[in-house]
């Protein structure tokens, strides 16, 4: 990692000064069918800098990442590496050039060991060209030691957390002695302390002279980690500036092309307690969880990934069974054996994974919206397409889904509009309790604001809402109360008025001061305000 | 078999769908014309009646198989269930049980066999390919245990009429009527009811279906029970048509059943396909087999044509799709998209 | 062996250990079964009987090894039995007609198997037909060609050279030739899968095709080679088939795909790709062979065999699922602790 670059003397200087960029993209264009994904964009990455690339979905960030990764070829434009023009005609070539990409979702081999995943494609070979497994193992151990991470390199990747998998990707780029490291939304599925660990590692790599491109939706992270930021909009380069000269509002304005205000929280009167949970336990996931939600209330669930938030939602929605405790809905004890039972009782669940769990991408908007209510809508067994379209139109128009019509395939919509279709689907089921699991993950800022507005309005209309989110500003702004979980236990319950990032984080990390926070800031879990 | 492949493939199949059925109609007409040129007997009613009757067990089993494959599963055990039904019916008859009691028992056993498949797949979470491979062996084994090497053939004439006879005054074989009846019912269920919608939803994305309150396990179990039941029915019809019961009856039929279903345009990975498509495929295969038979090609060698047909039926849509995008590119005068370079070609679109 | 299937170490406790050591548990089950059966039928454990079972199982084992490679790449080859049948008939007929001498005929037969495997490979990788559809089709086609070539002819045992048909009874250092062949095939195959770049690519493609593509692994080439090797080994199995049975017609090896896939599944190869070992597949074949043999010796009719095969497949796949679920739960519990 101590390699020095040998720039040719004739390298043209750059706006950044005399330093030759590690990587420079000049006038890159790329078209897919009718879509101009990238239009004459330029970008330079300096050695020892973390460079943020931000933009809404469809701005061209991932196309650029894929061009650098060798997955796509640009239609025009040049790429320079340490001043020399190069062609990245495949992923293997990218690796040979020591350009490493950590994708949003780690692309590992679940059946292979951690060590092999790190070294796949370039494992140390022994005599007669066969792979030297002992050397591979030792080298992997050394890498994780260097990263200050404890991981059994002989274990298979299957079953490892997202964060651990991401670290394996980083170890992989270390093993390549990457000159350029591209992090594509690396924090999307990480909890706060995992993010902190990742950032520490990224800074260490930066200090070694690696040029790092950091693609993220989380603007707070951009300011925390990055030296410069480049903004893309609609496939065009908007600006590149030092982050010191920018504010969050600037960035948002540059990204969306207009000013938007985040989190339109509406204060609403609350009704009776709708959902009451006491002593809820599922072995290995969470235990003794106690809370209640009122009609019109938004209850936020904060906590690190793996704290048990999604697991609670899954039990409430009948996907998993509880091992103990009670759930009361509208005062009646309930026990759901299946999602359909929970649904019929008036619970709706917008899952974390839109593509795998939220939608049937190959179905039309109308077919998706009516899927949960088919039996209710068509008690005489036969589906009437006209009635189906009418219902779908009613709810999608209410949520302002941008579409050509309800017969359009959901897969053709943008992420934000897809999420609105998921919401429309559950609104059509006329729920009393709405559980949202990371509802704004991976959707762009414009859509995010709309989702927030919709959720607020729904609560105002008398729904009890449970909002699970790893986006702290979102939970803080949207929730009337916040329930904080740590390793399957409720560590704090904080009312909106007292909620601060620090308080939530303390409780979420289970640190001793978190308990203090609970003592002075929390109210009793259930029925306290009755 | 990853999700991306699946959904991409699904969309392609969906779009090619209406065209696929028209293609089948064209193929059917072409085969009839060809057959007529080969032999003057080709278009005679008697000839057609014979050729269709011989394919009816396969055709009947193809109907529930269509639903199962659309739901993203497969049932390889159908031939053995038909064989078990045949053997059990023979055994019961030989033991003096009247057919009026024997047939319901056989159908019940068929449903129970399907229930076993369904429970293992839907509740046990096991891959249907392996489960039904297991029951393919298991049901055949039970047939052998029940009947051994015997053949039972003294069935009453009234019974053999089911498989062998025709609708009075016509040359339409009874099994064909049964096939059309089941096809009509399942066609309506699949294409016009919410249950059918749920079957497609499960095939396209079982996770999302479950999270939308679809009782995925129950639907899957029901489909396997249906498959077992109808396979047993096919076994009974086979017994009747051959007027003999043997433990090795219907051996090798699963292959033809699956071939017919896929030929009908059903996506092997689930999520798309129609009953009319499969009915057309049944007719096309019947006509093809008849043409080959008139050309003096033995039944065994006909399997070459069947296998080629199966492969071609999948290759054509793929290549049509590729040709179309190549033409589109040429029209725009742009280089091919980079994702067709050798290294990054799989599942990156 | 721990790296071969990329199998777990450290998670899942003793269940994990069993999952990792499917080969050992199969051996253990065979031994226990042997002990039990020998109580009623002492000849079960005789050297003669064991070597006879092993020789018979070798044919399935060779084919199962090829099948295992294909299954590890997340594909399946249902046409192997037709390849075995076609190769067997062509070889027998060639020898009967004295068209070629035995070594040349054998080489040509294995070459025929390779070509048939390559045909599958081309259809799957170049024409992009899903493996299950492609090989279902070629099963039909190859079998049809077999019928077409053979017609109603049957090559009798007497039509083959003695030396050739005696090979199934030959031994080297007391080990039957067939068994030795399986050991050599498994050993070479295992080394390739475990320690070469290509071998690891086989697992990588099966474990996560998308990641393999991003990594620049030539997935289609890997799958093509897997199908080719599978065809080649099916060709070898076809040769062994003739040596063992002698009397060959157009229906040879019909239905044997069941035993081959069963051996693979019982041998612990994940039907969805990415994990499994060749030794496991071979032991799976041996295990099924012993069960068949035990049935006869215990006095149960042959008719029970199919049913028991079916039960064994169901048990094996249930056990796999149970172990995997425990591992997942164990690691989930680990995280939430």
pLDDT tens-place string over residues A25-71? 999 999 887 678 899 999 999 999 999 998 876 788 888 999 998 88
Nearest-Cα distance to chain C for A489, in Å, is 10
Range in A171-175, A487-491, A519-523, B267-271 with the lowest mean pLDDT? A519-523
Q: Which residues of A touch B342 (CB under 8 A)?
A: 90
* Contact call for B209 and A360, based on CB within 8 A: yes
Query: Residues A319-340: pLDDT tens digits?
Result: 999 999 999 999 999 999 999 9
Average pLDDT over residues B206-235: 96
Which residues in chain C have Cβ-Cβ distances shorter than 8 Å to A155?
A: 8-11
Asked whether residue B329 carries a pLDDT value surpassing 70, the answer given is: no
pLDDT at C325: 75
Burial C228-240 (b: 16+ CB within 10 A, else e): bbbbbbbbbbbbb
Other beta carbons within 10 Å of A148: 10
Bridge partners, residue A81, by sequence: A23, A84
Query: Each residue of A399-432: pLDDT tens digit?
Result: 888 888 899 999 888 888 899 999 999 999 999 9
pLDDT of B13 strictly over 60: no
Alpha-carbon torsion angle A470, A476, A480, A484, nearest 10? 50
Q: How far apart are the first and last CA of chain B?
A: 14
- Chain A interface includes B330 (CB < 8 A): no
Question: Most confidently modeled of A232-241, B248-257, C113-122?
Answer: C113-122
The predicted structure's pLDDT at residue A258: 63
Q: How far is residue A517's CA from residue A494's CA, in Å, rounded to a whole number?
A: 9
d(C-alpha C219, C-alpha C225), whole Å:
10
* Test mutation, A103, A116, A132, A159, chain C, max C CBs within 10 A: A159
A interface test, pick of B17, B71, B208 with most A CB neighbours within 10 Å: B208
Query: Quick one: average pLDDT of A257-268?
Result: 64
Sign of the alpha-carbon dihedral angle for C330, C334, C335, C336? positive
At which residue do the structure tokens 């050394």 appear? A142
At B309 the pLDDT is: 86
In this model, does residue C279 exceed pLDDT 80?
yes
- Sequential DSSP letters for A311-359: HHHHHHTTSS--SEEEEEETTEEE--SSHHHHHHTTEEEE-S-IIIII-
DSSP character at residue C169: G
Q: CB contact, 8 Å: B338 with chain A?
A: yes
Name the phi and psi angles at B129, rounded to 5.
-55, -45
Residues of B in contact with A362 (CB under 8 A): 7, 10-11, 14, 204-205, 271-272
C266 token code pair: 């019982």
Interface of B with C in 107-136 (CB under 8 A): 120, 124-127, 129-131, 133-136
Residue B4 has pLDDT above 60, yes or no: no
Is the CB of residue A300 less than 8 Å from the CB of residue A479? yes
CA B18, B21, B27, B32 torsion-angle sign: negative
Asked if the Cβ–Cβ distance from C216 to A120 is below 8 Å, we say no
Interface of A with C (CB under 8 A): 69-71, 90-93, 95, 103, 107-113, 116, 120-121, 123, 129-131, 133, 152, 154-156, 158-161, 283-286, 306, 308, 311, 487-488
SS3 A281: strand
Read off φ and ψ for residue B221, nearest 5 degrees.
Answer: -60, -45
- Report angle CA B29, B35, B39 to the nearest 5 degrees: 150
Strands A433-437 and A464-468 come out as parallel
Query: For the residues B2-9, what does the mean pLDDT come to?
Result: 35
Among the residues of A50-191, which ranges form H helices? 61-68, 91-96, 114-119, 133-146, 162-175
Q: What is the mean pLDDT of residues C135-153?
A: 92
- pLDDT of B103 > 90? The answer is yes
Q: Does residue A237 or residue C327 have the better pLDDT?
A: A237
pLDDT band, very low/low/confident/very high, at A528 (cuts 50, 70, 90) = very low
List CB contacts (< 8 A) between C194 and chain A. Answer: 131
Q: Which residue has the higher pLDDT, C30 or B191?
A: B191
- Asked if B2 and C209 touch (Cβ cutoff 8 Å), the reply is yes
Query: Per residue in A258-278, is it b (16+ CB within 10 Å) or e — as a string?
Result: eebebeebeebebeebbbbbb
| ipTM score assigned to the predicted complex | 0.83
**Would you state the pLDDT for residue A248?**
81
Token duo for residue B6 = 């699946």
Average pLDDT estimate for C295-304: 81
Task: At B124, list the tokens.
Answer: 């046990």
pLDDT of A266 reads 66
Poorest-pLDDT segment among A242-246, B106-110, B201-205: A242-246
| Helix-strand-coil split of chain A, %, nearest 5 | 35, 25, 40
Return the structure tokens found at C298: 């215990």
Nearest to B338 among A73, A92, A355 (CB): A73
Alpha-carbon span A251 to A256, nearest angstrom: 9
Q: Which residues face A280 on adjacent strands? A: A289
> Where is average pLDDT lowest: A5-14, A93-102, B138-147?
A5-14
d(CA B252, CA B171): 28
Report the share of chain C in percent with pLDDT over 70.
91
| Backbone angles phi and psi of C102, in degrees to 5 | -55, -50
What is the least distance, in Å, from the CA of C180 to any CA of chain B? Answer: 30
How many angstroms separate the most distant Cα atoms in chain C? 73
CB contacts, 8 Å: A113 with chain C: 2-3, 6, 9
Asked whether the predicted pLDDT for residue B235 surpasses 90, the reply is yes
Identify the residue with better confidence: A123 or C35. Answer: C35
B145 vs C304: CB contact, 8 Å cut-off?
yes
Number of inter-chain CB pairs under 8 A, A vs B: 112
Of B194, B271, B337, the CB nearest to A378: B194
User: CB distance from B296 to chain C under 8 Å?
Assistant: no
Residue A111 has pLDDT above 70, yes or no: yes
Inform me whether the C-beta atom of residue A121 falls under 8 Å from chain B C-beta atoms: no
pLDDT at A530 over 80: no
CB distance C129 to B314 below 8 Å:
yes
* CA nearest neighbour of C220 among C141, C85, C122: C122
DSSP assignment of A352-410 equals: S-IIIII--TTSBHHHHHHGGGHHHH-TTSB--HHHHHHHHHHHHHHTT---S-TTSBG
- Closest partner residue to C6 (CB to CB) among A113, A123, A308 is A113
> Does C328 have pLDDT greater than 70?
no
Find, in chain A, the residue whose alpha carbon is nearest to that of B207. Answer: A357
Rounded Cα gap, residues C213 and C107, in angstroms? 36
Mean pLDDT of A454-458: 89
Report chain A's mean pLDDT, rounded to a whole number: 84
**If interface means Cβ-Cβ distance under 8 Å, which residues of chain C face chain A?**
2-3, 5-11, 191, 194-197, 200, 203-204, 206-208, 210-217, 270, 274-275, 327-329, 331-333, 335-337
What's the pLDDT band for C3 if we cut at 50, 70, 90?
Answer: very low
Residue of B208, B343, B348 lying closest to A360 (CB–CB) = B208
Task: Tell me what the mean pLDDT of segment C47-53 comes to.
Answer: 87
Q: How far apart are CA A466 and CA A433, in angstroms?
A: 8
Q: How far C3 CA lies from chain B's nearest CA (Å)?
A: 24
Chains that touch A (3 or more CB pairs under 8 A): B, C
pLDDT at residue number B330 = 65
B336 at A interface, C-beta within 8 A: no
Distance (Å, whole) CA A28 – CA A42:
6
> Tokens for B102?
């024997």
Q: What angle, 0 to 180 degrees and rounded to 10, lies between the N-to-C axes of helices B174-192 and B275-294?
A: 150
What gap in Å lies between CA B304 and CA B285, rounded to an integer? Answer: 13
Lowest-pLDDT range, A224-238, C31-45, C54-68? C31-45
**What does the pLDDT look like over A473-488, one tens digit per residue?**
888 889 999 999 988 8
Q: Do B213 and A340 touch (CB under 8 A)?
A: yes
Q: Does C324 touch chain B (CB under 8 A)?
A: no
Is B213 in contact with A71 (Cβ distance < 8 A)? Answer: no
Task: Please give the pLDDT value at position A184.
Answer: 87
Q: Where are the beta strands (DSSP E) in chain C?
A: 171-172, 175-176
B343 in contact with C, Cβ within 8 Å: yes
Using the predicted structure, report yes or no on whether residue B349 has a pLDDT greater than 50.
no
Helix (H, G, I), strand (E, B) or coil at A179: coil
**Other Cβ atoms closer than 10 A to B180:** 14
For residue B12, the model assigns a pLDDT of 43
| Residue A220 predicted with pLDDT over 60 | yes
- Helix ranges (DSSP H) in chain B: 3-15, 17-38, 45-53, 56-70, 78-94, 99-118, 128-147, 157-164, 174-192, 194-204, 206-211, 216-242, 253-263, 275-294, 299-332
Q: Which two tokens stand for residue A83?
A: 């001043």
- For chain C, the straight-line distance linking the first and the last C-alpha, in angstroms and rounded, comes to 31
Q: Find where tokens 């030539």 sit.
A: C218
| Any C CB within 8 A of B138 CB | yes
Which of A14-23, A315-324, B42-51 has the weakest average pLDDT? Answer: A14-23
How far from C289 is each of C184, C282, C284, C294, CA to CA, in Å?
19, 11, 9, 9
* Percentage of chain A modeled with pLDDT above 70: 89
d(C-alpha C90, C-alpha C100), whole Å: 12
Mapped onto helix, strand or coil, the DSSP state of residue A468 is: strand
> Å from C68 to nearest chain B CA?
14
Question: In chain C, which residues have their Cβ closer than 8 Å to the Cβ of B314?
Answer: 127, 129-130, 133-134
Contact between C307 and B144 using a beta-carbon 8 Å cutoff: yes
Cα A224 off chain centre by: 18
Q: What percent of chain B has pLDDT over 70?
A: 88
Residues in chain C with CB shorter than 8 Å from the CB of B120 are: 314, 318
Higher pLDDT, A440 or C328: A440
| pLDDT at res. C327 | 65
How does the average pLDDT of chain B come out, rounded?
84
N-term to C-term CA, chain A: 62
Which pLDDT belongs to residue A526?
38
| Residue B261 pLDDT exceeds 70 | yes
Residue B6 has a pLDDT of 33
Q: Of all residues in chain C, what percent carry a pLDDT higher than 90?
A: 50
Tell me how close the Cα of C239 comes to any Cα of chain B, in angstroms: 23
Identify whether the C-beta of residue B83 lies closer than 8 Å to the C-beta of residue B235: yes
In this structure, the number of other CB atoms found within 10 A of the CB of residue B181 comes to 11
Tokens 């302390």, residue located: A193
- Average pLDDT for B201-227: 95
Per-residue pLDDT, C17 = 56
Give me the residue label for tokens 């239009």.
A39
């Amino acid at each position: 990692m101590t390699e020095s670059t040998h720039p040719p003397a004739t390298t043209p200087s750059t706006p950044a000064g005399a330093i030759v960029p590690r990587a420079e993209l000049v006038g890159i264009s790329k078209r897919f069918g009718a879509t101009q994904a990238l239009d004459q964009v330029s970008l330079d990455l300096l050695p020892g800098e973390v460079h943020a690339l931000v933009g809404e979905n469809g701005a061209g960030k991932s196309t650029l990442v894929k061009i650098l990764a060798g997955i796509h070829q640009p239609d025009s434009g040049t790429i320079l590496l340490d001043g020399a023009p190069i062609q990245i005609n495949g992923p293997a070539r990218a690796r040979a050039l020591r350009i490493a990409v950590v994708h949003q979702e780690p692309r590992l081999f679940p059946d292979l060991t951690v060590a092999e995943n790190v070294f796949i494609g370039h494992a140390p070979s022994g005599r007669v060209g066969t792979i030297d497994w002992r050397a591979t193992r030792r080298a992997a151990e050394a890498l994780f030691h260097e990263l200050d991470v404890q991981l059994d390199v002989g274990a298979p990747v299957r079953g490892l957390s997202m964060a651990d998998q991401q670290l394996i990707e980083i170890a992989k780029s270390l093993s390549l002695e990457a000159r350029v490291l591209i992090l594509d939304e690396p924090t999307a599925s990480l909890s706060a302390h995992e993010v902190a660990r990742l950032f520490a590692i990224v800074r260490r790599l930066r200090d070694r002279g690696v040029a790092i491109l950091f693609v993220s939706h989380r603007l707070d992270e951009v300011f925390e980690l990055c030296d410069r930021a480049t903004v893309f909009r609609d496939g065009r380069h908007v600006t590149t500036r030092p982050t010191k000269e920018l504010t969050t509002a600037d960035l948002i304005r540059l990204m969306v092309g207009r000013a938007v205000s985040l989190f339109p929280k509406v204060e609403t009167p609350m009704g009776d307690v709708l959902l009451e949970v006491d002593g809820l336990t599922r072995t290995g996931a969470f235990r003794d969880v106690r809370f209640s939600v009122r009609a019109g209330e938004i209850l936020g669930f904060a906590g690190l990934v793996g704290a048990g938030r999604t697991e609670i939602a899954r039990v409430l929605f009948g996907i998993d069974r509880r091992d103990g405790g009670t759930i009361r809905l509208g005062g009646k004890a309930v026990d759901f054996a299946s999602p359909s039972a929970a649904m019929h009782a008036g619970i709706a669940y917008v899952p974390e994974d839109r593509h795998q769990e939220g939608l049937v991408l190959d179905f039309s908007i109308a077919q998706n919206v009516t899927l949960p209510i088919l039996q209710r809508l068509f008690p005489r067994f036969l589906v009437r397409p006209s009635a189906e379209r009418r219902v779908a139109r009613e709810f999608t128009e209410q949520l302002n889904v941008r579409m050509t019509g309800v017969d359009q395939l959901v897969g053709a919509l943008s992420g934000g509009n897809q999420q609105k279709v998921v919401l429309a689907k559950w609104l059509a089921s006329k729920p009393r309790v709405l559980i949202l699991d990371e509802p704004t993950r991976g959707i762009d800022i414009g859509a995010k604001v709309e989702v927030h507005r919709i959720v607020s309005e729904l609560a105002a209309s008398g729904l009890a809402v449970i909002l699970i989110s790893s986006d702290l500003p979102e939970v803080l702004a949207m929730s009337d109360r916040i329930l904080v979980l740590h390793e399957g236990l409720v560590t704090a319950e904080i009312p909106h008025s007292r909620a601060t990032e620090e308080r939530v984080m303390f409780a979420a990390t289970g640190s001793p001061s978190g308990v203090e926070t609970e003592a002075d800031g929390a109210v009793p879990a259930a029925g306290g305000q009755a | 078999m990853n999700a991306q492949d699946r959904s991409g493939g699904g969309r392609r199949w969906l779009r090619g769908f209406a065209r696929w059925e028209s293609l089948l109609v064209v193929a059917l007409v072409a085969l009839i014309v060809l057959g007529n040129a080969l032999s003057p007997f080709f278009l005679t009613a008697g000839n057609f009646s014979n050729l269709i009757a011989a394919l009816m067990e396969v055709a009947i089993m193809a109907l529930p198989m269509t639903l199962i494959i659309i739901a993203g599963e497969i049932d390889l055990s159908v031939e053995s269930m038909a064989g078990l039904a045949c053997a059990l019916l023979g055994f019961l008859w030989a033991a003096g049980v009247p057919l009026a009691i024997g047939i319901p028992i056989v159908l019940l056993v068929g449903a129970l066999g399907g229930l076993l498949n369904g429970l293992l797949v839907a509740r046990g979470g096991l891959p249907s390919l392996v489960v039904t491979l297991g029951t393919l062996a298991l049901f055949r084994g039970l047939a052998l245990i029940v009947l051994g090497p015997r053949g039972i053939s003294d069935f009453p004439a009234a019974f053999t009429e089911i498989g062998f006879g025709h609708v009075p005054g016509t040359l339409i074989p009874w099994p064909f009527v049964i096939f059309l009846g089941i096809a009509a019912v399942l066609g309506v269920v699949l294409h016009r009811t919410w249950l059918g919608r749920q079957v497609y939803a499960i095939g396209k994305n079982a996770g999302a279906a479950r999270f939308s309150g679809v009782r995925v396990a129950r639907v899957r179990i029901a489909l396997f029970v249906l498959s077992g039941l109808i396979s047993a029915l096919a076994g009974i019809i086979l017994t009747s048509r051959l007027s003999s019961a043997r433990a090795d009856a219907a051996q090798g039929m699963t292959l033809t059943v699956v071939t017919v279903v896929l030929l009908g345009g059903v996506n092997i990975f689930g999520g798309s396909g129609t009953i009319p498509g499969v009915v057309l495929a049944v007719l096309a295969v019947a006509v093809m087999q008849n043409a080959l038979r008139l050309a003096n090609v033995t039944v065994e060698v006909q399997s070459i044509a069947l296998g080629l047909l199966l492969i071609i039926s999948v290759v054509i849509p793929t290549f049509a799709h590729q040709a179309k995008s190549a033409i589109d590119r040429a029209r725009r005068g742009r280089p091919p998209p980079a994702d067709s370079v050798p290294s990054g070609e799989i599942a990156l679109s | 062996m721990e790296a071969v299937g990329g199998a777990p170490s450290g998670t899942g406790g003793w269940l994990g250990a069993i999952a990792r050591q499917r080969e050992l548990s199969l051996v253990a089950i065979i031994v226990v079964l042997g002990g039990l059966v020998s109580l009623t039928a002492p000849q079960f454990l005789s050297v003669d009987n064991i070597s006879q079972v092993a020789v018979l199982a070798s044919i399935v084992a060779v084919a199962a090894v090829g099948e295992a490679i294909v299954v590890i790449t997340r594909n399946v080859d249902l046409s192997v039995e037709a390849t075995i049948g076609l190769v067997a008939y062509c070889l027998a007929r060639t020898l009967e007609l004295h068209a070629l001498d035995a070594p040349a005929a054998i080489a040509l037969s294995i070459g025929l198997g390779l070509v048939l495997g390559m045909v599958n490979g081309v259809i799957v990788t170049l024409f992009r037909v899903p493996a299950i559809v492609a090989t279902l089709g070629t099963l039909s086609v190859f079998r049809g060609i077999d019928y077409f070539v053979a017609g109603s002819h049957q090559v009798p045992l007497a039509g083959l050279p003695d030396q050739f048909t005696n090979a199934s009874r030959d031994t080297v250092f007391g080990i039957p030739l067939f068994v030795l062949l399986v050991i050599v095939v498994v050993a070479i195959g295992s080394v390739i899968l475990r320690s070469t770049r290509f071998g690891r690519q086989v697992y990588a493609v099966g474990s996560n095709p998308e990641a393999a593509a991003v990594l620049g692994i030539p997935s289609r080439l890997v799958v093509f080679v897997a199908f080719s090797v599978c065809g080649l080994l099916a060709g070898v199995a076809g040769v062994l088939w003739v040596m063992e049975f002698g009397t060959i017609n157009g229906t040879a090896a019909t239905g044997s795909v069941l035993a081959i896939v069963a051996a693979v599944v019982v041998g612990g190869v994940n039907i969805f790709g990415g994990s499994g070992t060749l030794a496991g597949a071979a032991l799976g074949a041996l295990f099924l062979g012993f069960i068949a043999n035990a049935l006869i010796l215990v006095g149960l009719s042959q008719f029970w065999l199919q049913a028991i095969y079916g039960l064994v497949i169901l048990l094996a796949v249930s056990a796999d699922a149970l172990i995997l679920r425990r591992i997942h739960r164990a690691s989930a519990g680990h995280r939430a602790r």
